[in-house]
Chain A
Amino acid sequence: MATVDVRWDGVEQAYVPDAGWRDRISAAVRLHEPVAVDLDPIDYEVIRHNLWMINEEHGQTIARLSGSPTANVAMDFSPALYTETGEEVFFGPYIQHLAAGAGSAVKWILEHYGDNPGIHDGDVFLENDPWIGCNHQPDVGLLAPVFVDGELFCWIANILHQYDLGGSTPGSFCPDATSVHTEPTPTPPVKLVEAGVMRRDLEAMYLRKSRLPRLVALDLRATVAGIAIATERLRELVTRYGAATVRASIEKIITDSEAAFLRRIAGIPDGTWTDTGFLEEGVVGDRAAHKMVISVTKEGQTLTFSNAGTDPQIAGSLNCTFIGWKGAIIAGLMPVFCYDQLFAVAGALRHARFEPEPGRMTSAAWPAPVSCSPGYAVVATVAQVHRLLTKMAFASDEIRAELSPGGMSSWPIAALSGVTDRDDQFASILLDEVGGGMGPYPWRDGLSVAGHDWIPLAAQPNIEQNEYFFPILYLYRKLRPDSGGAGRWRGGNTFASCYIAHGAEKVTIDTITTGQGVPTGLGVYGGAPGSQTRQTLVEDADVRSAWLAEGRIPADLAEVGGRVSRLPGKSRDNVLARGDGAFELTPCAAPGYGDPLDREPGRVAQDVLAGEVSVATAGDVYGVALDDGHAVDEGRTEVLRQRRRRERIDGATASADGGDRPARIDSEARARALRVHEYLVATDADLACAKCGYVYCERTGNYKLTALAGDEAITAAGSKMNDASDYVDQEIVWRRYFCPGCHTLVETDVLAAGDPAHWDIRLAPRGTQ
């Protein structure tokens, strides 16, 4: 292949600081370098807590001053503290994948602006350039250098999602854009505040982009105030303890987090882990499945992330830039490696490398459209990273308990618009999806409708809130049983919201969604995928007169009758008219973990009692027979499980033989070997079943090739699954891999029929580490 001059400089490709970027910082910028200080442990603890509180005050100032549901319900913002060279110290418990943006922008500013326009005390830079410092254009970053004694001491920054900054679609998610030119125009960093004074010309230029300039101005005030308060508090801290001590404390926050990270990866063998997923419906009418691949190579103390194998960027809504992709990786790393370090991710990032391929869906080059990235590519990558780390870090005794294949894996959007009977215009989205299903862990089930680990504090709006702001009437918002992926540990179930038009002649619904065909929430170690997002419109059914006026409320859309359509991911101008029809949205659920036939029968019975799992699923998927009182019938369960084990390998075949290897290793050898997978151990030479000792292949091989494999339709993965063929043209299958020795379901893939097994675990030869 011809060598193309690819420059990761934030112009065409996104900005990826290279090894020598610091050398290009202008001499005009004097950096405060950390010096060795004999740091008193008590001072440290006090300063650490204080820095955290400063960042919290920063965040709370934004939330209160903005007052918007975006900041207050969805928590779609991030206040942050960075070192003088943009290392990530604290973010706070808000949307975690915003974290990459501001740190990248800080480095870019340092590399490019030291001389002109200069970096000085009292300056605040504004940017919303997805190739430099944010996920998508509505995420506006403010970055303020803080100087102490003429030296650049640290950066205080924030990112806040704005209501609208222009582009083809109100709200600035532009699903119909085929290039960035019909989306909001990205703004590279500009010095909005100069020596403490906001420049009117630049503010005017910024506000002019928006359909809602006054609201955007208010949010700008909120974010500037947040920076000001945090800067003031930080100065007080420095005055009190001295710059050297505060900087040394920041360094220790990072090195403590780094030490935790290193200890946590120490037990992990070298190798490469890969996850493959799909996004679909990039534009109206698109019926292709677009592949997203992410891999991590662990070599010694370094993790290298790559997106090689990902499909090229498309002229549609499924792309993100490298910045969004990196933010998603950070959001995945934090709960695993930094949960007890106040999410100070810089320690881990000192050992992380990023090697994006140019121009892929998850590293889109300018001028690809990227305004929709948070709901699709970024959230889907967060889920991918959860799976990737669940596989990579399984061998680490210390963090195995923190591993999860993730919860909601794409964020469906149904935008509602119209005019109410009271002549109020409305055009916005409901935020019900804030309450998604959580993923399971290797020791517990995923919680149903319990939020997301990457927006820890967000809360689902009340129905009464939505009915106040929108002319709709809910028929229900209920748990969706059987939607979470089945597994030894079950994925959290999702919910279904259903409403009719009420208080307006009509409500227009535009769908901006992906992942209805190919599931995005994939299970691990034999766990089933969570059910996909589903958007259902019923027309020709007058719920009001046939039901409500008769004193009844339908408990499910299926009872309503009428003409039922499953809306595609991208569709416009669907109409919910007064007195006609209903709309239901159910977001994708969380995937499962482990072989469902390994699930303790008592847990299945509890699930049935709690309404999380149906009796049918208990028998069909878990092989658990219940008596009339929903208690486990142990004898019948044993028989049923044996039958399910037999049935499921019927027709399953291995695509390769193991070659010249021992058939099994004994239990002692298994105990000595390294557990690298829920159901696999690695000896120096081989990969073998952790349960029965069956030897699959050499240590460095792909065990799936010698496992028994059988393809099923996606709908076989659970009773709430959509039929993938309703949404995509490629034939997508759910492939299950069984241990030839004990018939345990050890892993699954979702892939195009006929494609070879994904090579998800590729250990390095023993002795290379």
Chain B
Amino acid sequence: MSDSEHIHIGIDIGGTFTDCAVIGGDGHITSAKAPTTKDDPSRGFFEALELVAAERGTRLEELLAGAEHIFHGTTVGTNALLERTGARTGVLTTRGIGDSLGIMRGYGRVAGLAVEHVMRASVTARPEPLVPRSLVREIDERVDAHGEVVVELDEDAVATHARELASTGVEALAICFLWSFVNPGHERRAAEIVREATGLYVSCSSDLVPKWGEYERLAATAINCYVGPVVDRYVGRLREGLERRGYQGRPLFLDCRGGVMTGERAVRAPLLTIDSGPAGGIVGAARLAAEDGAENVICTDMGGTSFDVGLIVDGQPVPASKTIVSQYEYHVPRLDIRSVGAGGGSYVRHDPLTNTLKVGPDSAGSDPGPVCYGRGGTQATITDADVVLGYVNPEYFLAGRIELDLEAAVQAFERVGAPLGLTAVEAAAGACRIIDHRMADLIRQMTVQRGRDPREFTVYCYGGAGPVHAGGYARELGSQRVVVPLGDASSVWSAFGAAHCDLRHVAELTSMAPAPFDERWFNAQVAQVHDAAVATLVAEGAAEEEVVVSHSADIRYRGQLYELAVAIPRHPCSAADIAGLAGAFEARYEQLYGVGAGFPEAGLEVVTFRAEGVAAIERHPLERAGSRATSVAPEAQAPPRRAHWHELGGERSTPVYWGDRLAPGNEVEGPAIIDLPETTVVVRPGTLARVDDHGSILMTV
């Protein structure tokens, strides 16, 4: 297959750059970065496409003509939410609970905050409300825990409130009634009435998140409505722009579970686009890990403001169900990605009270950015430390697009170090050690909680600052293998990953019952989610026989609150299959919590049924080098730099390599630095780095 046919394009919009990765029909990868255009992100989207086309020596229209798929991770929903620029949203809910969204279960003032913030109660506050109380309307209607209607729906009130809200400029209406996941009748009827009476954007909690817990359903539905009209307009603009430039297909949008969906679904459930970018990165890692035979991978993405970690266990990205965004919590299927405020922009300060060095959790972000950017930042950051230590080449940062002010960075660290009697270099090295440990602590927490040893994992590092620090945090963890995936492409990793997502839909339904489970009832619940998953994908163009569905159930001991997902072996299940779930649950429980930790006397109950449908998209094998070089070519050798190595007790003249001129098979022994156009790989002393056939840089610590 030639390079210019069957092209797959991934585009991911980040805070500073819009990244684009193109995988040609022959598996060749090209990438480009354009500045993110906040006012209208579609401009950055097309600019990145223009740039990548130029990189490939072609025009945008030709590139699009050969494009088979375009995969897009968008942040317009996230931004609308974080910047409170979403739609004016109203809520219809059951009479008596209209305050729930505002009360946030009494803990919204601390939800998702770092512990340092949680402990200072005086400054904790709820977020700016998405929906003011005056736009929440209570409706007479009630369903009980068994799904029986206790109070009939007041249909007239629904219509009256909807019209009245619409007349005050409300654009979107969220509907969430008590126990609607058991009996969605009232919500669905209310949605019909609203649609008939108004032209509002409408979401029902029972369609979006049919799960236990009215606050989280309310939050999810309200957020979905809040960002819905914004995402709707954006998707429209994008499609129109692509069409105008001759793209015949339909763009696909990433979700936070690492799947893609059509524009229609993204507009219906824009909630799922929130946090989708990092999920793309995990999918990319899983794809490469599968080719490399790595079963267990810690995926680390160190950007400007945060350090994100996800896991791949036994070849599969690890899912989660809880999202906290802007202090609102909701439960949708997603990949488990956790974050700490540890990025290139994290501030480094001297704390006069304790006379120690403190790093983060706040960050200079991209504005003003690190001191060395020369954009007005005066407070030292981790990126400044990387420059001071000689790791990052001030003249070749982001392929020379930004010239860094080394002197200013040194001065900033002199100021930080002076009260401690540390030189600028010592202070910078200290700051890096602190942040490397913090990142290692997060990773350890995530793996240990799953009953896993981080040393069994390969560490993938991507994002601008990842390859600089990975050697440090991997050593802290005791991990022996570190991979900078596909070399320079690691800097557009989320875009690369996006281009590897499959059409996916996870259907969930909470339906609680104690064991033993009735076979017919059990299979009927599974059938509901199974059929929903298949129908959704078929509606998006997948052939029914292509859809692969896996099923699971969240089970727990009765009276307790921790659920574990247990795979349902087949659908429909035999009585023996269903009986076997208990054993699977208990085995998993003991794996996580230790032998004897279980509580079989309490009995089990099932909480949520889940069907995950996937319609795989055919991929091109990644390009592999045909030959291997034995020695590093002279033109790959850059002038050496003085760099600091705490392992060696100080500064050393350090060999530097042009990463894009290293060839597969080349080996580099640490200490060394590999400069790539978009990132820098720091090869720590005692580490051996090797370029593999894909161009990934493998470090053996």
Among B144, B561, B594, the most chain A Cβ lie within 10 Å of the Cβ of B561
Stretch at the interface among B113-121, B273-281, B623-631: B113-121
Count, chain B residues at interface, CB 8 A: 79
CA distance A478 to B102 in the complex (A): 10
Asked if B119 and A456 make an inter-chain contact with CB atoms under 8 angstroms apart, the answer reads yes
CA distance A60 to B434 in the complex (A): 23
User: Chain B's nearest CB lies how many Å from the CB of A92?
Assistant: 8
Asked if A450 and B214 make an inter-chain contact with CB atoms under 8 angstroms apart, the answer reads no
User: Chain A's nearest CB lies how many Å from the CB of B215?
Assistant: 6
Within 8 A of B (CB), among A178-211: none
Asked if B144 and A502 make an inter-chain contact with CB atoms under 8 angstroms apart, the answer reads yes
User: Chain B's nearest CB lies how many Å from the CB of A446?
Assistant: 11
Known: A225-B594, A473-B150, A553-B142. A67 touches B560 (CB 8 A): yes
User: Chain B's nearest CB lies how many Å from the CB of A760?
Assistant: 22
> Of A72, A461, A495, which contacts B562 at CB under 8 A?
A72
A69 interface residue per 8 A CB criterion: yes
CB-nearest residue of chain B to A228: B594
CA distance A334 to B354 in the complex (A): 18
Stretch at the interface among A42-50, A301-309, A504-512, A524-532: A42-50
Chain A residues closer than 8 Å to B562, beta-carbon distance? 64, 67, 72
Chain B residues closer than 8 Å to A631, beta-carbon distance? none
A150 interface residue per 8 A CB criterion: no
Q: Residue-by-residue, is B435-449 near A (CB-CB < 8 Å gives 1, otherwise 0)?
A: 001100100110011
Asked if A467 and B145 make an inter-chain contact with CB atoms under 8 angstroms apart, the answer reads yes
CA distance A609 to B135 in the complex (A): 12
B320 interface residue per 8 A CB criterion: no
CB-nearest residue of chain A to B437: A46
Within 8 A of A (CB), among B350-388: 353-359
User: Chain B's nearest CB lies how many Å from the CB of A424?
Assistant: 9
> Of A67, A340, A343, A450, which contacts B561 at CB under 8 A?
A67
Chain B residues closer than 8 Å to A611, beta-carbon distance? 133
Chain B residues closer than 8 Å to A465, beta-carbon distance? 212-213
Stretch at the interface among A252-260, A313-321, A571-579, A738-746: A252-260
Stretch at the interface among B91-99, B283-291, B407-415, B693-701: B91-99
> Of B121, B142, B358, B441, which contacts A53 at CB under 8 A?
B441
Asked if B144 and A60 make an inter-chain contact with CB atoms under 8 angstroms apart, the answer reads no
A429 interface residue per 8 A CB criterion: no
> Of A45, A401, A451, A551, which contacts B357 at CB under 8 A?
A45
A761 interface residue per 8 A CB criterion: no
> Of A435, A544, A551, A553, which contacts B107 at CB under 8 A?
A435
CB-nearest residue of chain B to A433: B106
B151 interface residue per 8 A CB criterion: yes
> Of B105, B179, B213, B438, which contacts A435 at CB under 8 A?
B105
Q: Residue-by-residue, is A443-463 near B (CB-CB < 8 Å gives 1, otherwise 0)?
A: 010011111010011111111
CA distance A334 to B357 in the complex (A): 23
B222 interface residue per 8 A CB criterion: no
Q: Residue-by-residue, is B8-47 near A (CB-CB < 8 Å gives 1, otherwise 0)?
A: 0000000000000000000000000000000000000000
> Of B99, B145, B146, B358, which contacts A477 at CB under 8 A?
B99
Chain B residues closer than 8 Å to A456, beta-carbon distance? 110, 118-119, 121
User: Chain A's nearest CB lies how many Å from the CB of B124?
Assistant: 8
Asked if A68 and B133 make an inter-chain contact with CB atoms under 8 angstroms apart, the answer reads no
Within 8 A of B (CB), among A220-269: 221-222, 225, 252, 256, 259-260, 263
Known: A57-B448, A476-B96. A449 touches B213 (CB 8 A): no
A36 interface residue per 8 A CB criterion: no
CA distance A463 to B94 in the complex (A): 12
CA distance A462 to B217 in the complex (A): 11
Asked if B561 and A42 make an inter-chain contact with CB atoms under 8 angstroms apart, the answer reads no
Asked if A474 and B96 make an inter-chain contact with CB atoms under 8 angstroms apart, the answer reads yes
Asked if A476 and B441 make an inter-chain contact with CB atoms under 8 angstroms apart, the answer reads no
Chain B residues closer than 8 Å to A405, beta-carbon distance? none
Known: A214-B599, A449-B103, A467-B145. A438 touches B121 (CB 8 A): yes
CB-nearest residue of chain B to A440: B122
Q: Residue-by-residue, is A72-90 near B (CB-CB < 8 Å gives 1, otherwise 0)?
A: 1100000000000000000
Among A339, A343, A404, the most chain B Cβ lie within 10 Å of the Cβ of A339
Known: A46-B433, A50-B441, A68-B560. A462 touches B121 (CB 8 A): no
Q: Residue-by-residue, is B107-143 near A (CB-CB < 8 Å gives 1, otherwise 0)?
A: 1111100011011111001100000011000101010
Asked if B593 and A64 make an inter-chain contact with CB atoms under 8 angstroms apart, the answer reads yes
Chain B residues closer than 8 Å to A335, beta-carbon distance? 119-122
Chain A residues closer than 8 Å to B214, beta-carbon distance? 462-464
Asked if B97 and A463 make an inter-chain contact with CB atoms under 8 angstroms apart, the answer reads yes
Within 8 A of B (CB), among A394-433: 401-402, 404
B597 interface residue per 8 A CB criterion: yes
CA distance A435 to B104 in the complex (A): 9
Asked if A478 and B99 make an inter-chain contact with CB atoms under 8 angstroms apart, the answer reads yes
B420 interface residue per 8 A CB criterion: yes
A342 interface residue per 8 A CB criterion: yes
Among B106, B354, B429, B560, the most chain A Cβ lie within 10 Å of the Cβ of B106
Chain A residues closer than 8 Å to B602, beta-carbon distance? 214-215
Shortest 6 CB-CB contacts between residues of A and residues of B: A435-B106, A476-B96, A67-B560, A453-B121, A42-B430, A459-B107
> Beyond the given A45-B357, A449-B106, A469-B559, could you list 15 further A-B residue pairs with CB under 8 A, ordered by the A residue number?
A42-B434, A45-B359, A64-B562, A67-B562, A68-B561, A225-B593, A342-B115, A435-B107, A447-B109, A450-B106, A456-B110, A463-B97, A468-B512, A474-B97, A502-B150
A-B contact pairs, 21 of them (CB 8 A): A50-B437, A50-B441, A53-B445, A65-B594, A215-B602, A221-B594, A221-B596, A402-B120, A441-B122, A449-B103, A450-B106, A456-B118, A458-B106, A459-B107, A462-B212, A479-B103, A503-B145, A544-B150, A548-B142, A551-B154, A552-B151
Which residues of A does B touch, CB under 8 Å? 41-42, 44-46, 49-50, 52-53, 56-57, 60, 64-65, 67-69, 72-73, 93, 214-215, 218, 221-222, 225, 252, 256, 259-260, 263, 334-335, 339-340, 342-343, 401-402, 404, 434-436, 438, 441, 444, 447-451, 453, 456-465, 467-469, 473-479, 495, 498, 502-503, 544, 548-549, 551-553, 555, 609-611
Which residues of B does A touch, CB under 8 Å? 94-100, 102-103, 105-111, 115-116, 118-122, 125-126, 133-134, 138, 140, 142, 144-146, 150-152, 154, 178-179, 212-216, 353-359, 420, 422, 429-430, 433-434, 437-438, 441, 444-445, 448-449, 512, 556-557, 559-562, 592-594, 596-597, 599, 601-602
